[in-house]
Chains A and B, each alone.
Chain A
Amino acid sequence: MSQLLLPGDLIKGNETSDEEISAGPGVYCDPVTQELVATHAGIEVVTETKKGHAVYVNYNSRRYIPAVGDLVVGVITGSFGDSYRVSLSNFSNPVSLSFMAFPNASKKNRPTLKVGDLCYARVCSAYKELEAEIECMDSTKGQDAGFGLLDGGMIVETTLAYARELLFNESYPLLNILGKLVEFEVAIGVNGIVWIKTDEVKTTLACYRAILACQDIPPNQFDKTIKQIFNDTLKSSD
């Protein structure tokens, strides 16, 4: 079983070899003593890299902190001169989405998002002292990749670790099980917002309930639980 780390636990650095250690999320390098210390409670993950190895703490929380490259679902809360103001989670600092950060954008060609719209985007700049920025195209790869307005559907608020699992773990069975029952579109933001859309309200609601329920149970119970939820939701008369 993987190693558990709690805040205040020192992390062993290999002092004898001059191998480099990259510190990821949940690991803090003391600016004075240069010691590595864990700052969150979670599972220690050590991976080999070209230069040495990388250490990070895989922890769960509900509050999203923007980081470059993250795929997020945001709500437009305002529009200013040349950018939108977007909320990635309630009560957090808003982030900005420039009008120029859309595919085929130009000075004359303005995007048509309104206040209250949902959009799928990528975090392109995240300094802790500055307002984060998101974009509706992948500027590192060039063209649009399914970013932009999310029309209709419904959002599910989940914990961050669960959202990451849904997005990155291809062998996680939840979406496959849902796919066998109903045809749907999904957008998963690592800020803990999952957007889901099906043709009917009833099936959307069933998916919403299934995603929430599976957050608290191990994968071997998914089949039974999801079938139960679908039966209950689709049969209900009101």
Chain B
Amino acid sequence: MQASTQVLSHVDGSSTVLSNGTKVICSVSGPIEPKARQELPTQLSLEIIVKPAEGVQSTREKLVEDQVRAVLTPVLARYLHPRQLVQICFQVLEAGERVEYTVKEVSVCVNAAILALIDAGVPMLSMGCGTSLGILRENGQIIVNPSFEQLEQCESVHVCCLELGTDVEKNVEVRNVLLLDSVGSFSETQLFQVLEAGEKECIRLYTEMRQTAKEKVARDFIWKG
């Protein structure tokens, strides 16, 4: 995964993430004043917009928006900003998959959103990480973060997003499963294998994202040396 933050200047937070042929740019504005219909009396409301790499928004992008919302809602400290709005925009630059699939875009959007939310300073209770997985048709092997070609050869494809944090002793802890979405035919044992491989990959991505966030903090406080 290649990631960078602070790429846009007119929004509060932004990031780009490139992962095995899928590239997404994300912007976050907030907490800002919501429209009357978006306002929630006790908590922060989220507006999520996904723009595809080709063509205009369709029901496919609505699916991606809904899945990203399901991941972000529990990790945000929503009750700290009642009657406010956070606007999260994604522009997919390179899809890295055929329009039949959304797994790669969903997982990359989740990672990009978390980094942009950190950049914007929106309060979060944990970090979220997402990865895509595929099970090969011929030998049932699990491929983590498949490429465009590998995706074509898969019997089933999966997205796995986990809620992660660090405990008092600085150990990484997995706190919850935020999203597990699967398309295709697969068995129960295979699903457990997918979860296991997904967990390993998410923990690896988590350490990578911490590094990106660390670089951001160093740039923010450049006068502290």
List A residues at the B interface (Cβ < 8 Å).
2, 4, 6-12, 26, 28, 30, 37, 39-43, 58-63, 65, 91-94, 128-129, 159, 161, 165, 172, 216-219
Contacts and interface: CB of A to CB of B under 8 A. Distances in A.
A63 B166 contact: no
A169 to B, nearest CB: 8
A39 B33 contact: no
B83 interface: yes
B33 A92 contact: yes
Contacts of B107: none
Contacts of B219: 216
B167 interface: yes
B216 interface: yes
A28 B79 CA distance: 11
Contacts of B126: 7-8
Interface in B140-181: 164-168, 175
21 contacts: A4-B214, A6-B213, A7-B124, A7-B126, A7-B127, A8-B165, A9-B166, A10-B165, A12-B168, A28-B80, A28-B125, A41-B213, A60-B121, A61-B13, A62-B13, A62-B121, A63-B12, A91-B32, A165-B223, A216-B222, A218-B222
A75 to B, nearest CB: 15
Given A8-B75, A60-B121, 18 more contacts: A4-B214, A6-B127, A6-B166, A6-B210, A6-B213, A7-B126, A7-B127, A10-B167, A28-B80, A42-B217, A60-B220, A61-B12, A61-B13, A62-B120, A63-B31, A63-B120, A129-B83, A216-B222
Interface of B: 12-13, 29-33, 75, 77, 80-84, 118, 120-121, 123-127, 164-168, 175, 210, 213-214, 216-217, 219-225
Contact of A8 (B30, B120, B124, B220): B124
B72 to A, nearest CB: 12
B165 A9 contact: yes
Contacts, number: 112
Contacts of A7: 75, 118, 123-127
A218 B121 contact: no
A37 B223 contact: no
A39 B80 contact: yes
Contacts of A8: 75, 124-127, 164-166, 175
Q: Which 9 A-B pairs have the closest CB atoms?
A: A61-B121, A8-B165, A60-B220, A39-B123, A8-B126, A7-B124, A91-B32, A9-B166, A63-B12
Nearest to B9: A62
Contacts of B80: 28, 39, 128
Contacts of A62: 12-13, 120-121
Nearest to A214: B223
B123 A40 contact: yes
Contacts of A219: 223
Contacts of B123: 7, 26, 28, 39-40
- Most-contacted residue by chain B among A9, A12, A219 (CB, 10 A): A9
Nearest to A159: B220
A30 B81 CA distance: 15
Given A8-B166, A41-B118, A161-B221, A129 B82 contact: yes
Contacts of B164: 8
A59 B220 CA distance: 8
- Most-contacted residue by chain A among B33, B80, B220 (CB, 10 A): B220
Contacts of B224: 2, 43
- Most-contacted residue by chain B among A26, A91, A165 (CB, 10 A): A91
Contacts of B75: 7-8
- Most-contacted residue by chain B among A30, A62, A128 (CB, 10 A): A62
A85 to B, nearest CB: 12
Given A12-B168, A39-B124, A218 B30 contact: no
A58 B121 CA distance: 11
A155 B174 CA distance: 45
B28 to A, nearest CB: 9
A92 B30 CA distance: 8
